Structure 1
Amino acid sequence: MEDMIPGLTDDVERECLARVPYNAFPTLFSVCKRWRQVLRDPTFHRFRKSTGIAQPVVVLVQPFFTYSTWPEHTVYRLVIFEPVTGVWSSLPPCPNFTYGLPHLCRLAAVGTELVVVGGRRIDTCLRSNGVHVYDFVSGEWRHGSSLPSPLRFSFACAATHDSDKGCRTVYVAGGHDASRRALRSALAYDVAGDSWKPLPDMVSEPFNCRGVILRGKFLVLDRHCAEAFDAATGSWGPVEEFVPQGEEFPAMCIAGWDGSIYQCAGREVMVQLDGGVWASVAELPGEMRVALHAVAWEGKLVVMGVGTRKGALVANILDIKAITTMTTPASAAWTNVEVPPEYQRYVDAACCLVI
């Protein structure tokens, strides 16, 4: 087999490819079969992460307005924010979404792929069973196996990814059906195998709930209760210590890189300590009136919310590693994110990939 780059050993060639920015992967992917194999190799991506080359990519669902198709409707699109470079851009639209993304769809990050699940179609106002996957390596969309009935809305969704075992799973649970009846059912989507399987029913009936992967378990959180699905035992169990505290609903909880769970409540960022106690670690920046979404990656937490001026989107990054040395929450240092005018819109959903 010919060398990928003539005159260089395989190891050096792989290191050269590893240093190419993630957004150039689709170009590399189209060059030859061998480069495609390298880009698909889990060890290639583990190397990028171990050397600090891999880049966090925050994906958002935002509205934008167009008068070419449906002037009376708000259309939703996928937006990318790169925390390292500060660059904002739009993801290529999915060919199946003629009128934009479904409203209130769920996002799940699985390795180098983004999974879009469910929501409500803008053109028909009906619930969607659609599953669509965007591959950041090839730069292409593909249609996934449809979400099984009953069609649900306001459900919890989160994904787990084990590159060593080749396990890529998206979990869905709770929500309500077309008759607004609360659901206890749950499902697991095998991204590689493109197949759904039912999970045992939950004890509770979480309505407007959130999903979090924490220490390998799928947590479903709503205002009054929390349950966790353990794939190793195939069963659900109550986790009272994870029930979010506070008056905000639904509570915004984020699994941090350190195995802890964080919450934005009121004007505070809180972390859960041993014993289920919540402790404040930072106060929201003064220019953020209310926090709406947050995502985390190794050592960082980006919080997005409504600003004090004209309600535009504002975003700030908190160094989670640094807050352990802060004397008071008010002393936590935030890094302001410059949001271009065309992206200063409400965030409907968010997730983060490290590519």
Structure 2
Amino acid sequence: MELIPGLPDELARECLSRVPYELFSSVGSICRGWKAEIESPDFFSQRRSAGKSQVLVVLAQARPNPAVRSGSMKHMLPPVCLLTVFEPLSGRWTNLPPPPGCSDGLPRFCRLAAVGMELVVVGGLDPVTWDASKAVYIYSFLSGEWRRGEDMPGRARLFFGCASDGERTLFVAGGHDTDKNALRSVSAYDVRGDRWVPVPDMAVERDECSAAFRGGEFVVVSGYTTEAQGKFERSVEAFDVATWSWRPVVENVLEADTSPRACVYGGAGEDTLYALRKSGGDVAALSGSAWRSLARLPADVTSRNHVQRWCERLVVFGWGSEERPDGAVFVLDLCSGTWSKMEVPEGFTGIVMEGCVLEI
């Protein structure tokens, strides 16, 4: 059966490849052939090769609580954490619907990861009870629907590192338990199979670490031990998925004043670590054993910041305080070293607490 009556399937696929991601759920509901087509990995390969793919930066963003508009509650209610989609190529900002049961906002300090065409939201603090959550929520950009995943195993953890291989598996590492004990433990979540599997412990405790996945390895950056609260390690350790084992810890990777939350690794096949440096006021890159400065940070990028990487660009979010979240978003072209300022529409100002990148 033809995908579009009267057209060769090759031309029909070209037409479907031009559909924006927010219409995928509608396209999939029209007929089984179209649904099968947009769910095929070949479909997304064709979108990328044709230059029709869309880069999405998904953010967990603290926004003013809608209830404060009443006036009397202005200084009593904390911000709510909502999901924002920023498309850096078009400058478009949109909202994602909240997960089921999260009408009061996302769990604060939850972690986000992109796995295939899905967004995974993991853990955080319940915005009503402030209890640590082990919940896992998965949003499909194909169906436009949420589903619950299996809860994280063991005791609840907070401020852990989280990253995925981009295809099927998500890893969580470190953080601290509800008694503020820093953790060495690690788990892996098979998103398609909806099951958690144990992973060998890291060599050291790593609270408030960050994480990335590159070259077949789950990499955990910095963090601190229970006995050294707030004194961040400068080390990195990597878990080799093929051998299911940790490589030796690499010491003195980060500079002393660099926060792990202001670091991001390069894309597929790239071993470069990028960091927003406080002392230098710049963006720097580590390739091999030496850091080199790439560009000065714009003046609007404050100490509260977030960075993501896609293609040959870094997108940097700089914000003020929760009381005055009037920051800015800048994109750094890594080839030319030049910055572009992105407009932030009214209603989308707010501190970026977490983020991830998808290419659909």
Task: Please say whether Structure 1 and Structure 2 have the same fold, judged by a TM-score greater than 0.5.
Answer: yes
Name the residue aligned to 1:326.
Answer: none
* Contact map agreement 2:203 2:249 (CA 8 A) in 1: no
Classify 1:321/1:291 alpha carbon distance in 2 versus 1 (closer, same or farther; 3 Å).
farther
Higher mean alpha-carbon deviation, 149-158 vs 258-267, is at 258-267
Q: Which amino acid aligns with 1:194?
A: D
Higher mean alpha-carbon deviation, 28-37 vs 102-111, is at 28-37
State the Cα deviation string for residues 141-166 of structure 1 (Å, max 9, x = none).
1111111111100100001124xxxx
Q: Does 1:233 align with 2:248?
A: no
Task: Report 1:151-190 matches (<5 A).
Answer: 151-162=156-167, 168-190=168-190
Name the residue aligned to 1:268.
Answer: 282
Q: Which amino acid aligns with 2:44?
A: H
Name the residue aligned to 1:328.
Answer: none
Name the residue aligned to 2:345.
Answer: 340
Name the residue aligned to 2:97.
Answer: 92
Name the residue aligned to 1:317.
Answer: 331
* Contact map agreement 2:304 2:320 (CA 8 A) in 1: no
State the Cα deviation string for residues 236-294 of structure 1 (Å, max 9, x = none).
123426731131434521111244221111221111122x2111111112332336111
Classify 1:63/1:307 alpha carbon distance in 2 versus 1 (closer, same or farther; 3 Å).
closer
* Contact map agreement 1:187 1:197 (CA 8 A) in 2: yes
Structure 2: distance between partners of 1:60 and 1:293: 10
Structure 2: distance between partners of 1:124 and 1:286: 38
* Contact map agreement 1:63 1:346 (CA 8 A) in 2: yes
Alignment TM-score, normalising by the size of structure 1: 0.90
Q: Which amino acid aligns with 1:263?
A: A
The offset of 1:39, in angstroms, is 1.0
Task: Report 1:219-298 matches (<5 A).
Answer: 219-222=219-222, 223-224=232-233, 225-240=235-250, 243-257=253-267, 258-266=270-278, 267-274=281-288, 276-290=289-303, 292-298=305-311
Q: How many residues align?
A: 338
SS of 1:61's partner is strand
Q: Which of these residues, 78, 81, 97, is aligned with residue 83 of structure 2?
A: 78
Task: Report 1:205-220 matches (<5 A).
Answer: 205-220=205-220
What's the RMSD between the two structures over aligned residues?
Answer: 2.0
* Contact map agreement 2:173 2:184 (CA 8 A) in 1: yes
Structure 1: distance between partners of 2:179 and 2:6: 65
Classify 1:43/1:241 alpha carbon distance in 2 versus 1 (closer, same or farther; 3 Å).
farther
Q: Which amino acid aligns with 2:191?
A: V
- State, as a whole percentage, how many aligned pairs show the same letter: 41
Name the residue aligned to 2:225.
Answer: none
Classify 1:231/1:295 alpha carbon distance in 2 versus 1 (closer, same or farther; 3 Å).
same
State the Cα deviation string for residues 175-207 of structure 1 (Å, max 9, x = none).
111111111110000111111001001110001
* Contact map agreement 2:320 2:351 (CA 8 A) in 1: no
Higher mean alpha-carbon deviation, 285-294 vs 42-51, is at 285-294
The offset of 1:73, in angstroms, is 3.6
Higher mean alpha-carbon deviation, 258-267 vs 148-157, is at 258-267
SS of 1:348's partner is strand
* Contact map agreement 1:316 1:335 (CA 8 A) in 2: yes
Name the residue aligned to 2:155.
Answer: 150
The offset of 1:307, in angstroms, is 5.8
Alignment TM-score, normalising by the size of structure 2: 0.89
* Contact map agreement 2:221 2:237 (CA 8 A) in 1: yes
Higher mean alpha-carbon deviation, 3-12 vs 128-137, is at 3-12
Task: Report 1:104-119 matches (<5 A).
Answer: 104-119=109-124
SS of 1:269's partner is strand
Structure 2: distance between partners of 1:147 and 1:181: 17
The offset of 1:216, in angstroms, is 2.1
Name the residue aligned to 1:66.
Answer: 66
Which runs of 5 or more residues in structure 2 are unaligned? 223-231
* Contact map agreement 2:62 2:79 (CA 8 A) in 1: yes
Name the residue aligned to 1:300.
Answer: 313
Classify 1:49/1:198 alpha carbon distance in 2 versus 1 (closer, same or farther; 3 Å).
same
Structure 1: distance between partners of 2:221 and 2:350: 26
The offset of 1:311, in angstroms, is 5.1
Q: Which amino acid aligns with 1:84?
A: L
Structure 2: distance between partners of 1:147 and 1:103: 16
SS of 2:27's partner is helix
* Contact map agreement 1:212 1:253 (CA 8 A) in 2: no
Structure 2: distance between partners of 1:250 and 1:220: 9
